[in-house]
A and B are shown apart, each in its own frame.
Chain A
Amino acid sequence: MTNVENHAEYDKLGFWERNKLSGGYLFKKVVGQRAVSIIRFILLFGMCFMIIQPILNKISVSFMTETDLYNPIVIAIPEHFTTANYRLSAELINYRESIFNSILISLTIGAIQIAMCTIVGYGFARFEFPFKKFWFACVILVILIPPQTIASSLHLHFRFFDVLGLFKLITGETLNLRGSKVPYYLMSMGCMGLKNGLYIYMIRQYFRNIPGDLEEAAYVDGCGTFKTFVRIMLPQAKPIITSCFLFAFVWQWTDGFYSRMFLGNTKLVSTGLSRIVDSLGAYIQRINGVKTTISVAYSNCILATGTLMIVAPLIILYLFAQRAFVESISSTGIKM
């Protein structure tokens, strides 16, 4: 009533007078809002702490000496500050070599996978052709099939690799591609790498939401399909391609399954990390000359340090590209 007629006068009133005018509604509303925001803060703080705590814990453990690990008084801040753990785990994982390898592999594999998935996703989004539904069901199937199901036969497939019996005809023997990088690159070119079905799905979803006017204009002006795709559609799909590439990079970086299966001979950070405890045992045995059991605490300390060293590049990447990770997934508007 009053607040519409003379607004200026209403603004001058104190909180309690305004509350009285609204019949107690204002007070209730403010209290409710405060309570909600306090509860929300406690909840979020607790959950964020829960997610971050292991990282903080790893950071503090990684600077401790072995005696600190057993000292019940030392909890978060090490008494004897040391960086020896970092040096040791860098040596155990072959940090310099394997990080170089990992960057190289993740970049190239990620780039190939995303390039192929973009082409395929565009094909699914923009063209009508017979059996389209069937092929798309195959994409969904690729998402659903755990790679472990076909692992054993892929294993043999590449052990005795052959294209239509050509190699056997020429050299008399099948190719042994076990341990070489070639099979994995081939698989990436065929969109069968790590979680590639998911990328195809996301990219298709994004392309479907782009209006087709520009594309039709390009066709009318005599632009071919592939040229239209490269010149007109690709620039518009930059956000989704960036975020898919980031995912491909990160997932390839930490992947254990494909790395162990196809890239066993290449030193990678992920395989190095999964073996770090064993290599610690071998290392200590080499120094002492006798077989010694390493204490659980110490091996975990080295494991924590190794994990930190491997995750650190990813966290830095995430801090810079956080928007790209999150926003463009929301923009695909995933729906079934």
Chain B
Amino acid sequence: MSKEKNKLAGLQKRKAISGYLFISPFIIGFLVFMVKPLFESCYMSFCEVNLAAGKVTKTITGLQNYKNAFRVDPEFNRLLWEEISRMMVYSLAIIVFSFFVALVLNQKFHGRALARAVFFLPVILSSGVIVGLESNNQLMANLAQTIEQTTQGISVTDALESVLRTAGVGVRAYEKVFEVINNIYDVALASGIQIIIFLSGLQTISSSMYEAADIEGCTKWESLWKITFPMISSLFLVNWIYTVVDFCMRTDNKVIEKIQKVMIDQQQYGNASAMSWIYFLLVVAFVGVTSYFISKRVYYYD
């Protein structure tokens, strides 16, 4: 009896050892290239870093770098606030847009394969350096301006906006909504992966549920909210986290640009570390709080 138990423990141990062997590349990489630099950059954010004559000298200055970032630097506060508020609005818009597109693409119609191919194209086109270049395309901006001028600002969104404004309902909220609608191209470009994830979720819902609901006299609208929505609610969490993280790592992010500028052009490593820690902590707090609220609403079927 005791021998058998020993043997089992041996097998478990062997399994555990090979498990560790399998993930050892990650552990080594994590410790060397993530934990150590992370601690170092945390330490550096409290230091004055001098790079002279091939030597790094760090002198502890306490919270000086953080004070610099918030009080001295002329644009950091503004950029940070702008980026975070932009992130909230756009992440919401991306989630709504990709959910809607996934719903449409999940239906059966002619040319579905083509439409899917087009919608996933942004996964390639909106990655890396291309995003940053796309956003400051002057030629397109000029074209848009000319169109606006020649049509005297007659566009559907403008008309709607003016109607709503004269009606006097919550102006600021509408401004945000219209800003997003006017930039729907950016939203579409950023939502390739999210659409794929939602689609994969939609395909796992068994059709018998919809049939049962249909027979019971449920309309399509009701079954959307009562079946589809709860069944893929866990994917909202995944997509939300992915979207927020993706947004704060994009190359056209103003805060990131600022940090890069401070670090590489001005060689102020301490300041740059402090700024990136502020940004990182804010983003983590944001992701943590929002995903806590979303995960409370998530419904798990099995």
A residues in contact (CB < 8 Å) with B: 37, 40-41, 43-44, 47-48, 50-52, 54-55, 57, 61, 69, 116, 119-120, 122-124, 126-130, 132, 135, 138-139, 142-157, 160, 186-187, 189-192, 200, 225-226, 229, 247, 250-251, 253-257, 270-271, 273-274, 296-297, 300-301, 303-304, 307, 310-311, 314-315, 318, 322, 325-326, 329-336
Determine the distance from Cα of A186 to Cα of B30 in the docked complex, in whole angstroms: 12
Set of chain A residues within 8 Å of B130, measured between Cβ atoms: 254, 273, 307, 310-311
Query: Does B56 lie within 8 Å of A160, measured CB to CB?
Result: yes
Question: CB within 8 A of B248: which of A129, A146, A186, A329?
Answer: A146
Chain B, interface size category, equals 35 or more
Q: Is residue B116 contacting chain A, with contact meaning CB distance below 8 A?
A: yes
Set of chain A residues within 8 Å of B2, measured between Cβ atoms: none
Q: Which residue of A lies closest to B115 (CB)?
A: A44
Contact residues of A: prevailing secondary structure: helix
Q: Is residue B228 contacting chain A, with contact meaning CB distance below 8 A?
A: no
Question: CB within 8 A of A124: which of B23, B104, B134?
Answer: B23
Set of chain A residues within 8 Å of B124, measured between Cβ atoms: 250, 254, 311, 314-315, 318
Query: Does A255 lie within 8 Å of B129, measured CB to CB?
Result: yes
Set of chain B residues within 8 Å of A186, measured between Cβ atoms: 33
Question: CB within 8 A of B38: which of A40, A124, A145?
Answer: A145
Query: Does B26 lie within 8 Å of A135, measured CB to CB?
Result: yes
Query: Does B23 lie within 8 Å of A120, measured CB to CB?
Result: yes
Contact residues of B: prevailing secondary structure: helix
Query: Does B139 lie within 8 Å of A135, measured CB to CB?
Result: no
Given contacts A44-B104, A48-B119, 20 further A-B contacts (CB under 8 A): A57-B140, A119-B25, A127-B16, A135-B23, A135-B26, A145-B280, A152-B276, A153-B44, A154-B37, A155-B263, A187-B33, A191-B30, A229-B22, A250-B127, A251-B128, A254-B130, A300-B138, A303-B133, A304-B139, A318-B117
Query: Does B16 lie within 8 Å of A139, measured CB to CB?
Result: no
Q: Which residue of B lies closest to A72 (CB)?
A: B146
Query: Does A326 lie within 8 Å of B116, measured CB to CB?
Result: yes
A and B contact pairs by CB, cutoff 8 A, 24 listed: A48-B115, A50-B188, A119-B23, A124-B23, A127-B15, A129-B16, A148-B259, A148-B276, A149-B277, A151-B259, A153-B38, A154-B37, A189-B25, A189-B29, A191-B25, A247-B123, A271-B129, A273-B130, A273-B133, A297-B142, A330-B200, A331-B200, A334-B197, A334-B201
Q: Tell me the minimal C-beta distance from B243 to chain A in angstroms.
A: 13
Set of chain A residues within 8 Å of B259, measured between Cβ atoms: 148, 151
Set of chain B residues within 8 Å of A297, measured between Cβ atoms: 138-139, 142
